[in-house]
Each structure stands twice: as C-alpha cells, then as structure tokens.
Amino acid sequence: MSRTVVVTGATSGIGRAAAREFAERGDRLVLAARSPDTLADVRAECEKVGAEVLDVPTDVTADGAVAALADAAVERFGGVDVWVHTAAVMAYGRFDETPERVFEQVVRTDLLAAAAVARVALRHFRANGGGTLILTGSVLGHITAPFMSGYVASKWGLQGLARALQQEARETPGVNVCIVSPGSVDTPVYQQAANYLGRIGRPPPPITTPERVARAIVDCADRPRREVSVGRLNVVMRFGFTVLPGAYDVLVVPLMRLAGLSNRPVEPHEGAVFTPNPAGESVRGGWRPDLAQVVRGVGALPATIGGVVRRRLR
C-alpha cells in the first residue's frame, strides 16, 4: 500500500537518496528543500520511476514554512503518513573562531528546524490517527569531535529531543518517532560546510553510502524502531567515548586532523549555511577513498597515535 511521504532536505545526500528509495517503492512524495531548480531535478528523478511527486521549495528555518509545507501535502494528497527530516548544514572551526551568526544558524537549521518539523508532523499524526516521524541524527549525537561544535551540539540536542518525543508518543497509539544515526557518509555536506579552519573537512573512514542510510530510513518507515545506527565503527566510537574518556580526548584531536580534514586549503567562508549552493548538491560527495588512500591513512595511524602518547607521557 502506497504512503504519502514528506522528505525535508531532499536535494542532496541522504535526503535525495531517501526520496529515490521511497519513489521506487511506489510511495507518493512531497519533497522540500531550499533550491527550487535542484528540487525540480529530484522530482523528475522520482517521477521517472512512476512516483507521484509534489515539490515545495522550503527553507525550514523560516517562520511558518514547515506548517505551509504540511498544508501543501494535505491539499495535494489528503494527509501525511511518513515525515523524513534530513535537512542539515555544517560549519568547521574552533568554537571561539567561528562567527556567532554561523554557529547559531547551524543550530537553528539542525536542531530548531527539526523541532519545528516534529511539532507540525506530530500534531498532524495525532489528529489523523497515526504516522511515523523519522529524524536523521548522527553518531555525533553520542560522541564529540573538535572543530564542529555547532553540528555536535545540534545532534546531541536532537538525540535528546527524539527520546523525549518517543516517551510522549507512548501515549498516542499509531504515532512513531524514529532516529537514524549514521557515521561517516559520502555526501556533499562537508564541501558545502562553512569553514574557518583553512582545510576542507571530509568524512573519516570507514565511509558508508547515502543509499545505505536511505534504505535504513525506508526500513524504519516499514518497521518503526527507536533508533537505527548505520556505520561499522559507531559502537566502537561510542564505547571509547563513554568507557575511556581520557584516552578518547587525547586521541580525538590528532585523529580529526588526520582523518577528518583534507589537505585541500580553503579561505574562510559561510558555505551553504545561509544560502543554498545548487552546484554542490548531489547524492554523493565523492569521498569514497581509493584503496591506496585507505592504506596510507591506516598506515599513518600507529605513528600518529604513538606520537601523541609519547608527548603525553613526557
């Protein structure tokens, strides 16, 4: 049976992959993002496999925008069965060197807009007998990494929000709240990020695909669960952060510089935090490394860790 699915953040990365996945399932789609032209491209991709699609250019941080999106979905398809929220932006930089307005816009987009989506979706679901809200979290909602303070703070906040909503939803039969938390994913969000570090960020290996995360999202729509983790090392990182916090804090900065930042220089800029960059929007970001790059990175890890340990011992 086909469903009506709203996808916010549908023009790039996980959101775009999820839109395609739902389309191939035969679901009706309401697609939302900031770039009208790219949104029209995604609509065409989904219509090509036979899906009914409504695209609604939307800035989820604008007052009233999320409610207007829900109204458009109801007007076109009569209601919403599943709402998938993937919209997010990122900024790299030391906390004290990142402009205040950039930090606040990251939090506004990644946490407060997610709360606005949840508020509208849950009110609709309660009034109409049920539905499933799927939020896109991150392993960084359970651990921390330097130079990404706005994103980390938002994902920790989103994790807490999701748990609170799940507890409240227990009193509302038919309403489900899920959070899908990936590790490193090959999406353009790293190139699109604001940057005040001088080096373009990148996802540290191992890197999964947006399509794999999209399949986890669709599976949550079919079989709602509290949280789904996508990434082979997520459990290991969470264990180290929780059980060995001292060792984690010693190692995380040099490892971030080694594996989480590329060697590509960049001048300070706001990226796509405030305005979209359609030229950079796609499903994948081109970060899946070749074998030689992986071998070099893995080979450098023991020397890097050894150097950090020796400095700490001295």
Tabulate helix, strand, coil % of the chain (nearest 5): 50, 20, 30
pLDDT tens-place string over residues 72-122: 999 999 999 999 999 999 999 999 999 999 999 999 999 999 999 999 999
Overall pTM surpassing 0.75 (yes/no): yes
295 phi and psi angles, rounded to 5 deg:
-60, -45
CB of 240 closer than 8 Å to CB of 247: yes
Q: Which pair of structure tokens corresponds to residue 181?
A: 């938390």
User: pLDDT > 70: what percent of the chain?
Assistant: 92
Q: Give me the pLDDT at residue 299, please.
A: 55
Residue 218 CB contacts under 8 Å (≥ 6 apart), including other chains: 18, 21, 22, 25
What is the Cα–Cα distance from 121 to 117, expressed in whole angstroms? 6
Look at residue 98 and give its three-state secondary structure.
coil
HSE-up of 38 (CA within 13 Å, CB side)?
A: 20
- Residue 154 pLDDT class (50, 70, 90 cuts): very high
Q: What is the CA radius of gyration of the chain?
A: 20
Tell me: pLDDT of 295 over 70: no
Active site annotation includes 151: yes
- Residue 266 pLDDT class (50, 70, 90 cuts): very high
Tell me: pLDDT of 132 over 50: yes
CB of 203 closer than 8 Å to CB of 287: yes
Q: Give me the pLDDT at residue 311, please.
A: 57
What is the Cα–Cα distance from 130 to 224, expressed in whole angstroms? 12
Q: Which of 151, 190, 196, 248 is catalytic?
A: 151
What is the Cα–Cα distance from 300 to 309, expressed in whole angstroms? 14
37 burial level (CB within 10 Å; 0-12, 13-18, 19+): exposed
Return the residue matching tokens 């050894």: 306
Nearest CA among 220, 163, 178, 223 for reference residue 18: 220
- Residue 305 pLDDT class (50, 70, 90 cuts): low
**pLDDT (mean) for 262-290:** 93
Q: How far is CA 178 from CA 9, 123, 132, 137, 226, in A?
A: 17, 16, 8, 10, 5
Q: How far is CA 67 from CA 74, 121, 149, 208, in A?
A: 11, 9, 29, 33
Which residues are 83's β-sheet partners? 6, 133
Nearest CA among 153, 170, 144, 155 for reference residue 226: 170
Our CA angle for 51, 55, 56, nearest 5°, is 155
Q: Which pair of structure tokens corresponds to residue 269?
A: 């800029």
**pLDDT (mean) for 169-197:** 97
Tell me: pLDDT of 292 over 90: no
Nearest CA among 202, 219, 176, 226 for reference residue 18: 219
Q: Which pair of structure tokens corresponds to residue 86?
A: 């993937």
Which structural domains are found in the chain, ordered by start? 4-313 (3.40.50.720)
pLDDT tens-place string over residues 224-262: 999 999 999 999 999 999 999 999 999 999 999 999 999
What is the Cα–Cα distance from 59 to 66, expressed in whole angstroms? 8
Return the residue matching tokens 């409240």: 168
